[in-house]
Structure 1
Amino acid sequence: MSFLGLWKACNGGKRVEFILELMLIILCTKLAGDLSVRLGQPAVLGKLLAGIALGPAVLGWVSQGGFIDQAAEIGVLLLMFIAGLETDLEQMRRNWQSAFAVAVAGIIVPFAGGYAAGIVFGLSTTASLFLGVVLSATSVSISVQVLKDMNRLNSREGTTILGAAVLDDVLVVVLLAVMMSAFGTGADISIGALIGKKALFFAVVIAVGWLVVPRVLKWLAPLKVTEAVVSAALVICFAFAYFAEELQMAGIIGAFAAGIAIAQTEFKKTVEEKIEPIAYSLFVPVFFVSIGLNVSFAGIGEQWLFLLVVSVVACITKLAGGWFGARVTGFDGRSSLLIGAGMVSRGEVALIIATMGLQGGLVLPNYYTPIIIAVIVTTLVTPPLLKQFAKDRPAKQFN
């Protein structure tokens, strides 16, 4: 019996297992992040690799489910909430055209690439189209952390990536709904109703963020309890995230919108200073590790070529689409590459879509694992790509 198994057996098994897993996650992500920085790479890369090492693919010390999944969900919500707090709303308004172009091109090119790859490997038209949808997704949470570490989150490039990611989420969900309606189990999906929900979401969060959020914070701030303002901010964050999920938006978009809303109030600095220690000491490390837990090498030997091709197509097409969208809206070549790199990570968004496709019969089980690993590959290559394209450029060039 391994040391880990013996420790669990002596201490109540499942009852305390999550305590040991949490200890390992915090320790290993911090050490791996530090090592990554010493090797000239973003800390996020080390944390993601720590997740793969701790998960079933290598050591098997941390498993999915229960507390880990729930803490990871809180982690990504807090990460995007902090990104919203730090976002320059005026900068985002100025770059909306670039964000739109990057989002659209960043969907069209990967969708075409994914469909072509599926056809080449003999997948059905339906499965090939679905592969295109998976590769069209973008999860900006990893890019947010890298940009934040490099002090680029409020740059023109950073706000363009954030805006494009929000639009990408809307467009990909609509595209997925069309697929599920036409070929999968979701034949009763109304595309008009889905688009209406998206419009309702943005209308409500804008109105609530402008009119309600400042009043709620001012009302709760004087409460004679500890950390009243921070507690109120978390209530708003999770309420926005829940509302987003109810309207078939990603919860991270709701959390991001909540952060932007609070950033327009006098409580921004207080909330930011109090939330960051909570997020980065506990929940965000669990989120990074949770991505690596999806990696499994079982059965990959038979699909190694498919995995290789899809991984390359996923990275190149998203980079090219983002580059094109940025280039045609006035960015120089290096900045366009930076924006394209920021869109490469598919992360948890694509993982969710792939799982939905498996459940809906849009992807064959033997192709599911290679697709999941390809998604993880895009997440792993994003930090070093961003680091490379931002290398040796003074900060003023990003403003």
Structure 2
Amino acid sequence: MNKSFFEHIAHAFDTPLTNAVLIFSLILFIILLAPMLLRKIKIPGIIGLILSGVLIGPHGLNILAQSDAVKLFSTIGLLYIMFIAGLELDMNEFRKTRHKSIVFGIYTFLVPIMIGYPVCYYLLGFDVWASILVSSMFATHTLVAYPVVNSYGISKNQAVAITIGGTILTDTAVLIILAVIVGSSQGHLDQQFWMRLALSFAIFLGIMFGIVPRIAKWFFQKVESEKTSHYIFVLLIVFFAAFMAEIAGLEPIIGAFVAGLALNKFIPHSSALMNRIEFIGNAIFIPFFLISVGMIVDINVLFKGPEALIVAGTLTLVAVCGKWIAAWFTQHTFKYSTAQRQVIFGLSSAHAAATLAIVMVGYENEIIDEAVLNGTILLILVTCIIASIATENASKKVVLSGEQDVIVEEKDVIRDEHLLVPIANLNNMEMLLDFATMIKNKKSPHPVTILSVVPNNELAEANLKKARKNLDSTAKYASGSEIEVNMMATIDYNIAGGISRASREVLADSILLGWPSQTGIIEKMVGEKTESILNRTDINIFMCHFGKPFISDNRITLICPPMAEDEKGFSYWLNKVGQLAVELTLPIQGIANHRSMEAIKNYLKKNKINCTIKFVEWNDWDELANLTAYVKDNDLLIFISARVGEVSYHRAFNGIPKKLARQYTRNNRILIYPSRRPTSVFDNYDEVSAMSANGGYTRLQRVGKSLGSVLTMKNKKFSNVKREK
């Protein structure tokens, strides 16, 4: 009994391992341990995963074989890398740099081929088709080092953007060449081949950019509450796109990248869904792929005579030199820094997936021999190590030199900003918190403070417990986005007083409020809640109405009154509007006078905020109702107002929340009151009505109008009754 038990245990550890649970446990152990150990000796974690694959692979200790399960997870990891690269591509920046991406794509495609073909044909003695295939293999690159630039927060740097754009161009071109070479070797290179390839490619692009975005928009709108379904839907699109690309005669990696581009505008970069996509990819799938790359490498090729070493050394040298020269040409063409050139070289020098696909197809079709296959596998190991080290060092230099493509903030835009979000209605909580996540400064160490103010009455204690319970559900939602939140529940005789007091306690820079509700005559007499908050505080106020998902919005319409650029909070709110446009990948339509237009343009340009903006010049600010001609139902409306007495305040702004709610009922809308210079210190202690002289006079005017309208209605009714009699 004991003997059979121990034999059973020993059999479970026979190599290569066959138990699926044990294989998965070993892979997870490597993913956990390898990066941690090698990071101690300043070696990038990616290299640790690749070397671990070499060690445990069939050509190392033979602990793991290239089983179907390993190949499946490896394929998923590769597709994930390409998908995230497409998803995180800043489309506004990509549109601006698409010409540069094309130029880089030409450089990184032609230079390695022009160097590689003579070397293969004349130096190594390959025939024509083998020389073309191997030299085209030099032109490919896999974004193995992309997680490095992502971890350093420079994924939106222009050098990264053009490298990603060039990847899709050069890999597509090389894979088309591969299809041509294979077709030629099989005698299928005829007119029908070209027509089939062109037609299938056109149909693929038509489906991905014509049909998939419509389906995605419908799905995210209709299935808003099912957050798990969103992630499953995204994975479905990725693998379906990879399959369609394969059917079209392309490599699956092209399909995954195109899926990322197609879904780019529907998944904000700071959203909970994006967090889930990146977390699962970086934790499981991408490390699996890197380990599988190492498992392919056969170190024994070094000991198979001088021919294998010569071929491997020559192929590796040509591959590295070709990519470095292409990066050097790109640097001097676009006047990039040395650090940016190194980023381009690091990202584009790794040969893995596409290279392996090409060489395997060539080997199976007997275009190349085993020596080239072994040399290419060694090339994959060396270039992945070089790419990881080069990208790591270059990313550090980019960050240290301040060349990362982020918003450069002025002194009045506080880096350690603190946002306060008072919650009155739990139904609006999720979108308000999503909005806070998108506009919050990523460098700020402060959490977002979620506030609930309970009226101080006989039910105060019970209501406070209920409020804290509601805040717990808010915290649970916030954890999905990995946004740090601070829960705060307080009791106050006056809701507005509680909010303004809390904003001073946490030193808030902005308050994000829900849209003000309808008020009765009593509230008008003692002061409306939102107006009381405005009068009690000097900080930025964002009043938000989000009646539908952000995915429904096609653009941002920004209405900016004259002299708004002279307000203290101008740079702050414009910074946030630009950040929101980048997050949602939406163009901006600005409505302003000429002076304000120029101020907005200059600020966006100076601070490198990559949003697309077009202006409509407007000077008739007495007639705000006429602006409806420029606002569509699917616009996210942002209106810049001002407190009474500020330089950009206009009498037409009186009662602006009600006017906007009445005229733009179908729109998501944000009403912004910029921060102002501090008022009298005694205003902070006005906890009853918060009436300044101007505010009191304005409020009395409104009460008079309300009473007048009521009396007029009664007089009309009395006259009608009198006539009937």
| Alignment-derived partner of residue 310 in structure 1 | 315
More helix by proportion, 1 or 2?
Answer: 1
Equivalent of residue 132 in structure 1, options 126, 135, 160: 135
More strand by proportion, 1 or 2?
Answer: 2
Asked if 1:398 is matched to 2:404, the reply is: yes
For residue 7 of structure 1, report the CA deviation from its aligned partner: 5.0
CA distance in 2, matches of 1:192, 1:104: 24
Contact 1:233–1:271 under 8 Å retained in 2: no
Equivalent of residue 198 in structure 1, options 181, 196, 201: 201
Contact 1:354–1:372 under 8 Å retained in 2: no
| Alignment-derived partner of residue 324 in structure 1 | 329
Contact 2:351–2:379 under 8 Å retained in 1: no
Closer, same or farther: CA 124–257 of 1 in aligned 2, 3 Å: closer
For residue 315 of structure 1, report the CA deviation from its aligned partner: 0.9
| Alignment-derived partner of residue 11 in structure 2 | 9
Equivalent of residue 389 in structure 2, options 384, 396, 399: 384
Contact 2:141–2:355 under 8 Å retained in 1: yes
| Alignment-derived partner of residue 179 in structure 1 | 181
| Alignment-derived partner of residue 211 in structure 2 | 208
The one-character-per-residue Cα deviations of 1:271-316 (angstroms, maximum 9, x if unpaired) are: 2222233323322221111101111134443211221111111111
Closer, same or farther: CA 392–14 of 1 in aligned 2, 3 Å: closer
Contact 1:21–1:62 under 8 Å retained in 2: yes
CA distance in 2, matches of 1:177, 1:310: 22
Query: Which stretch shows the higher mean deviation, 33-42 or 103-112?
Result: 33-42
For residue 8 of structure 1, report the CA deviation from its aligned partner: 6.3
For residue 79 of structure 1, report the CA deviation from its aligned partner: 2.8
Query: Which stretch shows the higher mean deviation, 307-316 or 275-284?
Result: 275-284
For residue 380 of structure 1, report the CA deviation from its aligned partner: 2.2
- Structure 1 residues 44-63: aligned runs within 5 Å: 44-63=46-65
| Alignment-derived partner of residue 39 in structure 2 | 37
For residue 16 of structure 1, report the CA deviation from its aligned partner: 5.0
Contact 2:49–2:294 under 8 Å retained in 1: no
Contact 1:8–1:14 under 8 Å retained in 2: no
Alignment-mate amino acid for residue 9 of structure 1: H
For residue 397 of structure 1, report the CA deviation from its aligned partner: 0.8
> Structure 2 length as normaliser, TM-score?
0.51
The one-character-per-residue Cα deviations of 1:226-262 (angstroms, maximum 9, x if unpaired) are: 7122122222222222222222233233223333333
Closer, same or farther: CA 397–22 of 1 in aligned 2, 3 Å: same
Closer, same or farther: CA 170–196 of 1 in aligned 2, 3 Å: farther
Equivalent of residue 352 in structure 1, options 342, 348, 357: 357
Query: Which stretch shows the higher mean deviation, 329-338 or 12-21?
Result: 12-21
Closer, same or farther: CA 164–6 of 1 in aligned 2, 3 Å: farther
| Alignment-derived partner of residue 243 in structure 1 | 244
Instruction: For structure 1, list consecutive stretches of 5 or more residues without a partner in the other structure.
Output: none
The one-character-per-residue Cα deviations of 1:314-336 (angstroms, maximum 9, x if unpaired) are: 11112212331343134234322
Contact 2:50–2:294 under 8 Å retained in 1: yes
| Alignment-derived partner of residue 24 in structure 2 | 22
Closer, same or farther: CA 358–317 of 1 in aligned 2, 3 Å: same
Q: Secondary structure at the match of 1:123?
A: coil
CA distance in 2, matches of 1:318, 1:160: 14
> Structure 1 length as normaliser, TM-score?
0.89
Identity of aligned residues (%): 21
For residue 78 of structure 1, report the CA deviation from its aligned partner: 2.3
Asked if 1:258 is matched to 2:264, the reply is: no
Q: Secondary structure at the match of 1:394?
A: helix
RMSD: 2.6
CA distance in 2, matches of 1:387, 1:202: 34
CA distance in 2, matches of 1:6, 1:385: 47
CA distance in 2, matches of 1:56, 1:333: 40
| Alignment-derived partner of residue 501 in structure 2 | none
Contact 2:104–2:326 under 8 Å retained in 1: yes
Asked if 1:117 is matched to 2:123, the reply is: no
Q: Secondary structure at the match of 2:368?
A: coil
CA distance in 2, matches of 1:279, 1:262: 17
Alignment-mate amino acid for residue 33 of structure 1: P
Instruction: For structure 2, list consecutive stretches of 5 or more residues without a partner in the other structure.
Output: 1-6, 406-725
Q: Secondary structure at the match of 1:227?
A: helix
Q: Secondary structure at the match of 1:328?
A: helix
The one-character-per-residue Cα deviations of 1:14-35 (angstroms, maximum 9, x if unpaired) are: 9952322222222123222122
- Structure 1 residues 248-287: aligned runs within 5 Å: 248-265=249-266, 269-287=271-289
